[in-house]
Amino acid sequence: MEKKWWHEKTAYQIYPKSFCDSNGDGIGDIRGIISKLDYLQNLGIEILWLSPVYLSPCADQGYDIADYYRIDPRFGTMEDMEELLKEAKKRGIYILMDLVVNHCSDEHEWFKKACEDPDGEYGKYFYIEKMVDGKVPCNWRSYFGGSVWEPIPGTDRCYLHVFHKKQPDLNWENPKVREEIYRMMNWWLDKGLAGFRIDAIINIKKPQSWKNYPADRQDGLCDMAQVLADAQGVEVFLQEMKEHTFRPHNAFSVGEVFNAKEGELAAWIGEEGCFSSMFDFSQTVAGKSPLGWYASEVPTPDEYKRCCFGSQLQSEGIGYLSNIIENHDEPRGVSHYLPSEAQTERGKKLLAAMYFMLKGLPFIYQGQEIGMENMEFSAINEIDDISSQDEYRVCLEAGLSEAEALQIVSHYSRDNVRTPFHWDGSRNAGFTAGTPWLNVNPNYVTINAAEQEGNPDSVLSFYRSLIALRKNPEYREAIVYGQLEPVLEEESGIMAYFRRGEKQDIFVAGNFNSDSRRISLDEWRGKTVSVLLDNYGKTPGEEIIGEDGSLTLKPQQAVVLVVER
């Protein structure tokens, strides 16, 4: 694999609204981020992905952009953004912004002009169709519920939105739209941005006709997954995007790619693929039902492990994945993947080690590094997220009681990860001097960065050690590039794998069970096997394999070992 500047790094996602508020209005902002760059540098972060800070009415928290060239005043000014780029650079941190170009906001001037004159130039920037007898063109369901079509008041037209109705889809078939987008991307890259995280990108290519698909719920509509399976040629647009933007800038791009078709991985992230990397979502979609959250199931540790290994084996020799346990759209990883009895500090470190040591670029979502957990919502009106509101409705329609619906939505809600970051034990977790836009999780009193900072046994310190290990020249080659080889796959609740480097083998094992498990491998015989990291506190360098050649993993123990060749 050709080495790239970003391969060795560790990335971190900031959800600006909830990271740090510098001016007491209850909303996190760019100056708040600047004030925490030292914290991030100390952690070892070298790539930062910012969720959107562009001008936006925030119907979908900034994923609805009204002007790609402006910073939303809630987050600060363009000068703040420039200062962030400069200050980050001083600390060796590269910045990625979110590229949301499947759609913009209905408050973008393009869309306003399109509504004024649907047959004019800007009408062609969107998908605008005539309604016949008041009927919309087809039965596709938006990701946030209801039809993808919304009438334009005062006309016989409607426009397409695969997300919220305040997020009209841009018409990628129109070369002018593509040109505008590339111009905007280059404008940002010229400013010093290192690249982009590319939002919802699979949606930019629609099937050729607005045809109906079989309904998959009572509402008579069909899931977008069905629709997208029929769309051909998204890679043609994306190759063009790459040639016009990423390639000339040597920029990094990581795609949010759901529903990729089989055998397509190389087209996405291969040597000549359109993106540098893409997120592995195999574990996040595991157990999810097309009927909605109420019919979904939380994956077991064995399912989790199978998903990770599956993606690793698929991508080997093709491209470099980006690995996560959570992001701004998912529940907290520790609340989702760990069995409830394992949701302890020890368990959090276990999950951290398991995903962090996979091959690929690790992304940490803000708060993950201190072990932040799901929120306990006590009423639906405490949840702001639009997809949660929709899923709540779907639960009730499916016959669940309000209490049951709340329980389901509480588990999966995107607001679980959007609560303010826990900086310290003071009021509002040190996030704001004012009233936070979303309630702070009351457990900040015990789970917060200040408390963990000086404690060598904290979750934060464990993450710091993982990142430091990835950077350690002694092991870097194996950790960054070593092929992943699963072992002991049949052992329930045990996740174990080798990373085969050029000079050495790294062995990673974790026990998700609540009792001790003994494991042994022939390969260890006669070799020096020593500890690099252990969440039970064995010091690096110590021998860990017993006389009989076996290793006993205590409950929720995770170890990273080096096996000398």
Q: Catalytic residue positions?
A: 199, 256
Which is closer to ligand GLC, CB of 60 or CB of 415? 60
- The Cα 224–Cα 368 span in angstroms is 30
- Count how many Cα atoms sit within 13 Å of the Cα of residue 367 in the half-sphere of its side chain: 34
Q: Which does 23 bind (CB under 5 to 8 A by kind): ligand GLC, Ca ion, none?
A: Ca ion
Beta-bridged to residue 519, according to DSSP, are: 551
Shorter beta-carbon distance to ligand GLC: residue 199 or 534: 199
Measured distance CA(416)–CA(548) in Å, rounded: 46
**CB-count exposure of residue 483 (10 Å: 0-12, 13-18, 19+):** middle
- Short-list 367, 520, 554, 343, CA closest to 448: 367
Q: How far is the CB of 387 from ligand GLC (least distance, A)?
A: 7
**C-beta of 442: minimal distance to Ca ion in Å?**
22
In the complex, what is the shortest distance from the CB of residue 292 to ligand GLC, in angstroms, rounded to a whole number? 16
Half-sphere exposure of residue 83: CA atoms within 13 angstroms, side-chain side = 14
Q: How far is the CB of 11 from ligand GLC (least distance, A)?
A: 15
Angle at 194 between CA 310 and CA 372, to 5 degrees: 55
Cα angle 224, 227, 231 (rounded to 5 degrees) comes to 125
What's the chain's length in residues?
565
Residue in the shown chain whose Cβ atom is closest to Ca ion = 29
Residues 246-275 that bind ligand GLC (CB under 6 A): 256
Tell me if residue 319 falls in helix, strand or coil. coil
Task: Tell me the residue number closest to ligand GLC, measured at CB.
Answer: 63
The partner in contact with residue 29, picked from ligand GLC, Ca ion, none with C-beta cut-offs of 5 to 8 angstroms by kind, is Ca ion
Distance CA 32, CA 20 (A): 5
* CA atoms in the 13 A half-sphere facing the CB of 297: 6
Contacting residue, 15, 49, 63, 75, with ligand GLC by CB under 6 A? 63
The answer to whether 171 and 181 have CB atoms below 8 angstroms apart is no
Q: Are 74 and 64 in contact (CB under 8 A)?
A: no
- Rounded Cα distance between 220 and 397, Å, is 14
The Cα–Cα gap between 224 and 496 comes to 36
Q: Which is nearer to ligand GLC, 359 or 418 (CB)?
A: 418
Whether the CB-CB separation of 63 and 162 falls below 8 Å is answered with: no
Interface with ligand GLC: number of residues (CB under 6 A):
9
Question: How far from the centroid of its chain's Cα atoms is residue 284's Cα?
Answer: 9
* 8-state DSSP, 147: B
- CB-CB contact of 494 with 519 (8 Å): yes
CB of 40 to ligand GLC, least distance (A): 21
Interacting positions 314-373 with ligand GLC (CB under 6 A)? 328-329
Q: Is 163 in the site for ligand GLC (CB under 6 A)?
A: yes
Nearer to Ca ion, 27 or 394 (CB): 27
Residue 281 interacts with ligand GLC (CB under 6 A)?
Answer: no
Residue 428 or 465 having the CB closest to Ca ion = 428
Minimum distance between the CB of residue 535 and ligand GLC, rounded to whole angstroms? Answer: 31
Residue 199 lies near ligand GLC (rule: CB under 6 A): yes
Q: Is 100 in the site for ligand GLC (CB under 6 A)?
A: yes
Which lies closer to Ca ion via its Cβ, residue 29 or residue 373? 29
Of the candidate residues 200, 241, 395, 406, the single one contacting ligand GLC (CB under 6 A): 200
Q: Is 234 helix (H, G, I), strand (E, B) or coil?
A: helix
Among Ca ion, ligand GLC, none, what binds residue 12 when CB lies within 5 to 8 Å by partner kind? none
Asked if 169 touches ligand GLC (CB under 6 A), the answer is no
Which of ligand GLC, Ca ion, none interacts with 294 (beta carbon under 5 to 8 A by kind)? none
Based on CB atoms, which residue is closest to ligand GLC, 354 or 386? 386
What is the residue-wise DSSP string for 420-476?
PP---SSGGGGS-SS--SSPPPGGGGTS-HHHHHT-TTSHHHHHHHHHHHHH-TTTH
Least Å distance, CB 70 to ligand GLC, is: 18
Instruction: Tell me how far, at minimum, the Cβ of 488 lies from ligand GLC, in Å.
Output: 35
Q: What does 199 bind: ligand GLC, Ca ion, none (CB cut-off 5 to 8 Å by kind)?
A: ligand GLC
330 binds, among Ca ion, ligand GLC, none (CB under 5 to 8 A by kind): none
Binding site for Ca ion (CB under 5 A): 21, 23, 25, 27, 29
Instruction: Name which of 25 and 382 has its Cβ closer to Ca ion.
Output: 25
Judged by beta carbon, residue 115 or residue 170, the one nearer ligand GLC is 170
Residues 378-407 that bind ligand GLC (CB under 6 A): none
Find the binder of ligand GLC among 60, 106, 150, 491 (CB under 6 A): 60
Q: Least CB distance from residue 34 to Ca ion, whole Å?
A: 12
Please report, for residues 51, 347, 554, the alpha-carbon distance to residue 78 in angstroms, rounded to integers and kept in the order given: 16, 41, 51
> For binding to ligand GLC (CB under 6 A), which residues are involved?
60, 63, 100, 163, 199-200, 256, 328-329
